[in-house]
A and B are shown apart, each in its own frame.
Chain A
Amino acid sequence: MFAYIVRRALYAIPIMLGTTFLLFLLYNFVGGDPALVKAGKHATAETIATIRAEMGLDQPWYLQYWDLLMQVLKFDFGRSWSTNLKITDMVADGAGTSFSLTFPVFVMSTCLSLLLGIFVAVKRGSFIDKGLVTLAVGAQSISVLVYILAGQYFLAYKMGWFPISGYEPGLTERWAYFALPWLIYILIAVAPEMRFYRTIFLDELYQDYVRTAKSKGLDSNTILFKHVLRNALIPILTNLIISLPFLILGSLLLESFFGIPGLGGLIVKAIGNEDRPVIYALTVVGTIAYVIFNLISDILYAVVDPRVQLK
């Protein structure tokens, strides 16, 4: 077990090096000279040279890459081009806001989709199963933007049931602003998640152990909640864990439409301003989070299911 964990953890190192190197290539070479981008169209040769020296671009590529790795290790990504604030502070401020927006609704939508997923899997082939799955496929055929636009327009602007957009930092005040984004999030998330859980439960429901349990006379509720749910929990939990990094990154569209100052909104603003260091830092932070949670999820998988280590 211990050997597996060490092996798996060591494998995260080449992955981190790979992701940072890929981003390094994209930003420093494929995209042209970053100094030219930063200086703008009308800069003189001198300004460009100064900026190049400031950014360390006059050094050989391996030193530049080394600088990048140091940035990551020290968690210091310099300042934003558009606001001149320290990026680390911007990320720290936004991450909490995003998490408080996404985490509660993630729990709600997961519970709801799990229940629906079990329900339709058990009723497989029935009218209600076909109806709900068709409804879900249909719901997924509409752009997420349409849900947000229509929800904001009808429920907030026309009906006045929710604030149109806005945010107050107090922990108790912000919920009023979160209510509508949450509703829309659930509308968008439940359809694909329900179908995902349905597939997982169907995989389990036709296993031999279920037939054995049935033939020894267990009632269907015991089979479902004691046997099937336990086995199905393995893929469900691992899937939930790797979703966590995305909760920190927040929801780009919801935060930008509802004016919530989280990381998602920050990303959208940075795209608009072509604020490269901000996107760069958020990409690196998001990737590190993803690699770490992937690692946790794999280790957990191995703890729950010892067969994994043999592979």
Chain B
Amino acid sequence: MKYLASKVKGNSLWSDALRRLLSDNLAVFSFLVIAAYIVTALLASSNLIAVNWQDSIGASQAAPSFVDGFSHWMGLDIFGRSVLQKTVQGAYTALYVGLVSSLISIPIGVLMGALAGYFGGWVDDLITWIYTTISNIPEILLLVSIAFALGKGIETMCIALGMTSWVGLARLIRAEFIKHKNREYVAAAQALGASHSRRIFKHIFPNVLHIVIIGFSLRFVVAIKSEVVLTYLGLGIEIGEGSSWGLMISDAAGELVQGIWWGLASATLAMFPIVLAFSLFTDALRDAFDPKLRT
């Protein structure tokens, strides 16, 4: 008597999604890769690994060697610093840029999208105008303009990336709120006397939260790649603000002709798995929350 009606237990969107994620080997593997990078970054930032990355430990630009200890595995840079340790520290910078820029862009995107979709009318017109305005300025030039206005460096880069990247999320959230605001459960909440803010955040928001989570994961893909390009253009990490894969790859522009390939190789090898893992995990999240969309 397995199928007695009383025994049938409903699954929530979340438990269903979690079950799908856990049964997806690639998703689990991607998540483990991301977790490994987070642990590495935390250890590096709390001075437990790659502590002395700023110290010279040997001859300038010494080639990779496996006999002098693991700090020499990826060779040394022009100041005799361990490229491997710099790469490990770079993981912290990459995740920091991803995290801080998402913490700026996601609240703005959610709030703007929710208000526009929920209230409609002039609020919608105003917010749509604001984000259309921002999205009509070519992104790279807007980033340059913000960097000119606020100065250079890692903080500005995070602010600039955050301020320019909320539009996509706001559009998605707005569309969802338009769909949800006329549903019965919202009308029921209203009948019980729930205020606008309660209906927006307590009732509708949990139903669109999965979009926020997907957006959060995707932000990291974009932020880690943007850091490299912006740093090369001189708008990102400044020398002295720590080690970053962008700085290492930018240095390679001058190093390659001297036959020094290890800085570029090390940064690229470190960047590839984490960007790939975030991309695959984002896709897996999308599939898990909305199997209909599965491509």
Contacts and interface: CB of A to CB of B under 8 A. Distances in A.
Interface of A: 14-15, 18-19, 22-23, 26-27, 30-31, 124, 137-138, 140-146, 149-150, 153, 157, 198-199, 202, 245-246, 249, 252-253, 257, 267-268, 271-272, 274, 276, 279-280, 282-283, 286-287, 290-291, 294
Contacts of B132: 15, 18
B136 interface: yes
Contact of A15 (B133, B149, B225, B264): B133
A202 B233 CA distance: 38
The 7 residue pairs across chains A and B that have the minimum distance between CB atoms: A18-B133, A31-B149, A141-B275, A141-B276, A283-B141, A30-B149, A286-B138
Looking at A23, A138, A153, A267, the one whose CB has the most chain B CB atoms below 10 A away is: A153
Interface stretch (B55-63, B64-72, B191-199, B251-259): B251-259
A202 B279 contact: no
A143 B268 contact: yes
B230 to A, nearest CB: 10
Contact of A246 (B138, B142, B234, B245): B138
Given A22-B133, A149-B256, A27 B144 contact: no
A279 B144 contact: yes
Given A31-B149, A271-B144, 20 more contacts: A15-B132, A23-B145, A26-B148, A31-B150, A137-B276, A141-B271, A142-B268, A142-B271, A143-B225, A149-B249, A157-B256, A198-B295, A249-B141, A252-B233, A253-B229, A267-B141, A276-B148, A283-B138, A283-B141, A287-B138
Contacts of A153: 256-257
A19 B136 contact: yes
B134 interface: yes
Interface string B132-162: 1110111011101110111000000000000
B236 to A, nearest CB: 11
A4 to B, nearest CB: 17
A19 B264 CA distance: 38
A138 B278 CA distance: 11
B79 interface: no
B232 A26 contact: no
A290 B138 contact: yes
B41 interface: no
B133 A146 contact: no
Contacts of A290: 136-138
Interface in B254-295: 256-257, 264, 268, 271-273, 275-276, 279-280, 295
Contacts of B150: 30-31
A27 B137 contact: no
A286 B136 CA distance: 9
The majority secondary structure among interface residues of chain B is helix
A15 B129 contact: yes
A196 to B, nearest CB: 11
B145 A26 contact: yes
Interface residues of B, number: 41
Interface in B191-246: 225, 228-229, 232-235, 245
Contacts of B271: 141-143
Contacts of B229: 143-145, 253
B251 to A, nearest CB: 10
A27 B257 CA distance: 39
B130 interface: yes
A153 B252 CA distance: 11
A164 to B, nearest CB: 9
B74 to A, nearest CB: 16
A31 B150 CA distance: 6
Contacts of B276: 137-138, 141
B50 to A, nearest CB: 21
B26 to A, nearest CB: 9
A15 B136 contact: yes
A280 B141 CA distance: 8
Nearest to B224: A143
A4 B255 CA distance: 56
Nearest to A124: B295
B69 to A, nearest CB: 28
Nearest to B133: A18
B149 A27 contact: yes
Contacts of A283: 137-138, 141-142, 144-145
Contacts of B279: 137, 140-141
16 contacts: A19-B133, A22-B134, A23-B145, A124-B295, A140-B275, A143-B228, A144-B229, A146-B264, A198-B295, A199-B295, A257-B253, A279-B141, A279-B145, A286-B137, A286-B138, A294-B136
Given A141-B276, A271-B144, A286-B137, A149 B233 contact: no
Contact of A287 (B136, B140, B235, B268): B136
A124 B232 CA distance: 38
A141 B272 contact: yes
Contacts of B149: 26-27, 30-31
A90 B245 CA distance: 34
Contact of A18 (B130, B245, B252): B130
